Structure 1
Amino acid sequence: MSGGAAIYRTSIGHVRRTPLRNAFTYCSYSWYVDVDALPVLPRWIAPLAGFSAADHLGDPAGSLRGNVERYLATQDITLDGGRITMLASARVFGHVFNPLSLFWCHGPGGELRCVVAEVHNTYGERHCYLLHTDSAGRATVPKAFYVSPFNDVDGRYRMKLPEPGERLAVSIVLEREGQQPFVATMDGVRREATVPNILAAALAVPLAPLRVAAQIRWQGIKLWARRLPVIKRPHHPSQEAVQ
């Protein structure tokens, strides 16, 4: 391995409070890496963790750092060579699905300048939220992206995205008209990205990207069966430098 990469074995919870109540929790795992020092796995386990710029914002033929920096440039932010760390799922046997990827963007002195929250939906679209978090990792931002067929794009997200240490604790709360109709959380414990820990995570959650996508769709089928109204997906214009 390289770059001090880590794996977080995660518990992910979704709670929908209105107009129908629905809650579920599932287990997965995420990688935490420096985009300039991506893990290099032994050949025999390399299919368990692949990292590609094509799975994230920007030019598929570019680099993760270059693509993040190009997006930040559209927001008049420069990092001056500072570190960028990423929390995301890796490719497993060629498959990947990241409902949420997070990039913590630092200045050359190590100070956090911003966080990029990249959201993917199951329709193959992506959207990046630029966040200036406080000392506890908190920020709010208007919702601007259609994720669920049962939720429109009204409201604001209240996010808590502290850069992970020994523990990972991320939360996203949708706020609308004094209510919180949807809450998502992701919690986990850090493990070094050693071969035994990589194998343990892959065995605990086989084909994790496919399982996550299937679980999301299954919950959607259950909500549709309960006759929760489907909201038409609006056109989502591509963001500059995001694609």
Structure 2
Amino acid sequence: MEIIHLLWSILTTCLTALTQSLILPFRRHVESRAACQVRLYEGSVWHQRKAPVQHSFQYSVRYALYELDHSPTEHLSASQARLFAGTNGPVFLLSIPPSVGYEQNPLSVYYCYENEGSTLSLKKCIAEVTNTPWGERVVFLFDPNSDTVAKPLHVSPFMDMHGNWRIKANAPGDSLAIEISVQHPELGDYFTATLMAKKVSSLMVGDHALFFWLMPHKVALWIYWHALKLWWKGVPFIQHPRYSNPEYREEATRRDRKVRLKSVECIGQNLIGESSSISNEFDTNVKDHCFRWRDAKWPWC
């Protein structure tokens, strides 16, 4: 049944994209005030898998960085992001805008800044991860300098729910970088995904709709194509955990608490040179990753 849903979703997306692409050159181009608050980035995404087979690929991407206080968005608002992160400064969202009726964002990142007198510093980030094709979403906090998060979402039918994500990101400027690696209890550090991009002048781009034309579709095409390659290479297909373990989200939350407790204990050992007194209770100064899930929409619900 899910195969039928997938084929139907691909067909309707293609028809919508074709129709809207045909009228795109004839539409009246209007530059909104929000466009002045957008920075454009162009770069590449690189994936490398070491087990159970070797597999790697790279593709070009284009992203927009929105200043949320001045930009409309279908994601979190600036006030919601500040409340979530516990910060008081501006918030920027890195995301691939929808194009001709389709949106595909495996990863969007909110950069949450703190006002410290006359300076701004990047204090927290919020990751917004969406899986394909289900369209489920999870958002969580992470420390941009480096953080370890228990895997909270079934992002691929060729990865199980075990292990942790190690994630880090720099403050976006003339360039930006995001790196995520998977630490698996059996396979080790077997998977890495990186985004490297440089800022593009908006004056050189002109029409943003044309700049991002079919960008979400290209990302989806790469995801499906390399999923097919992994299946061809014999990587085991793993069913969505909601069928075998409906409480997988609660389990992810419990595993994440253990990860954070272990991190606090390591910090304590580094500070005092011996076992930390933190053993049974969490350090109240350590911010929870605060997982928030969104269920799949039709036809996957």
TM-score bin (small chain): 0.7 to 0.9
Are 1:233 and 2:254 matched, yes or no?
no
Are 1:12 and 2:31 matched, yes or no?
no
Alpha-carbon distance, 1:187 to partner: 0.7
Contact kept? 1:29, 1:201, Cα under 8 Å:
no
Residues 19 and 240 (structure 1 numbering): CA distance in 2 closer, same or farther, change over 3 Å? closer
SS across alignment from 2:160: coil
Are 1:128 and 2:139 matched, yes or no?
yes
1:211 to 193, 218, 221: 218
5+ unaligned residues in a row in structure 2: which ranges?
A: 1-34, 243-247, 251-289, 295-301
Residues 192 and 33 (structure 1 numbering): CA distance in 2 closer, same or farther, change over 3 Å? farther
1:221 is aligned to 228
Moved more, 122-131 or 102-111: 102-111
Contact kept? 1:2, 1:37, Cα under 8 Å:
no
Contact kept? 1:7, 1:32, Cα under 8 Å:
yes
Contact kept? 1:97, 1:209, Cα under 8 Å:
yes
1:151 is aligned to 159
1:172 to 165, 180, 199: 180
Considering only CA atoms, is the larger Rg found in Structure 1 or Structure 2? 2
Aligned residues: CA RMSD: 2.4
Query: Could you tell me which amino acid in structure 2 is paired with residue 65 of structure 1?
Result: A
SS across alignment from 1:224: helix
SS across alignment from 2:230: helix
Residues 175 and 237 (structure 1 numbering): CA distance in 2 closer, same or farther, change over 3 Å? closer
Aligned length: 211
Query: Could you tell me which amino acid in structure 2 is paired with residue 121 of structure 1?
Result: N
1:197 is aligned to 205
1:52 is aligned to 73
Contact kept? 2:40, 2:62, Cα under 8 Å:
yes
Query: Could you tell me which amino acid in structure 2 is paired with residue 111 of structure 1?
Result: S
Higher helix fraction: Structure 1 or Structure 2?
Answer: 2
1:111 is aligned to 121
User: Cα deviation per residue 1:132-180 (whole Å; 9 max; x = unaligned)?
Assistant: 23xxx22221112110101011111111211211111211111123721
SS across alignment from 2:224: helix
Residues 240 and 231 (structure 1 numbering): CA distance in 2 closer, same or farther, change over 3 Å? closer
User: Cα deviation per residue 1:106-147 (whole Å; 9 max; x = unaligned)?
Assistant: 2233233311011000111011121123xxx22221112110
2:65 is aligned to 32
SS across alignment from 1:36: helix
Alpha-carbon distance, 1:240 to partner: 7.3
Residues 21 and 240 (structure 1 numbering): CA distance in 2 closer, same or farther, change over 3 Å? closer
SS across alignment from 1:8: strand
Counterparts of 1:96 and 1:150 in 2: how far apart (Å)?
23
Counterparts of 1:206 and 1:24 in 2: how far apart (Å)?
22
- Normalising by structure 2, we get a TM-score of 0.64
1:184 is aligned to 193
Query: Could you tell me which amino acid in structure 2 is paired with residue 6 of structure 1?
Result: R
1:91 to 90, 98, 122: 98
- Normalising by structure 1, we get a TM-score of 0.78
Counterparts of 2:101 and 2:139 in 1: how far apart (Å)?
24
Contact kept? 2:100, 2:213, Cα under 8 Å:
no
Alpha-carbon distance, 1:199 to partner: 4.4
Identity %: 28
Counterparts of 2:188 and 2:231 in 1: how far apart (Å)?
22
Counterparts of 1:198 and 1:174 in 2: how far apart (Å)?
38
Query: Could you tell me which amino acid in structure 2 is paired with residue 186 of structure 1?
Result: L
Counterparts of 2:291 and 2:181 in 1: how far apart (Å)?
26
5+ unaligned residues in a row in structure 1: which ranges?
A: 39-50, 58-63
Counterparts of 1:166 and 1:180 in 2: how far apart (Å)?
30
